[in-house]
Amino acid sequence: FGILICGTGIGISIAANKIKGIRAALAHNEFTAKLSRLHNDANIIALGARVLGDSLAIACVETFINTEFEGGRHARRVGKIEK
């Protein structure tokens, strides 16, 4: 896993996704952090330092690293992204 932080998280997630094998997802809350792993197998979480407070950022990271990829119907889409 990786954690990237910039002002909004937008720019760093765009830049990271240019690198083969990286699936960076911008998280705004615990729900988006969880779904980025559960449904999209994100391996990098991007956070906005100007957008999130410390406690919410920590909660997002903890949720992200403790959520497993669900696979199943989502695996096909993730496979297409990798091509």
The catalytic residue positions are 6, 39
Token output for 21: 């094998």
Question: Is 47 in contact with 27 (CB distance < 8 Å)?
Answer: yes
CA distance 62 to 35: 13
The C-alpha R_g of the chain, in whole angstroms, comes to: 12
Dmax of the chain from CA atoms?
36
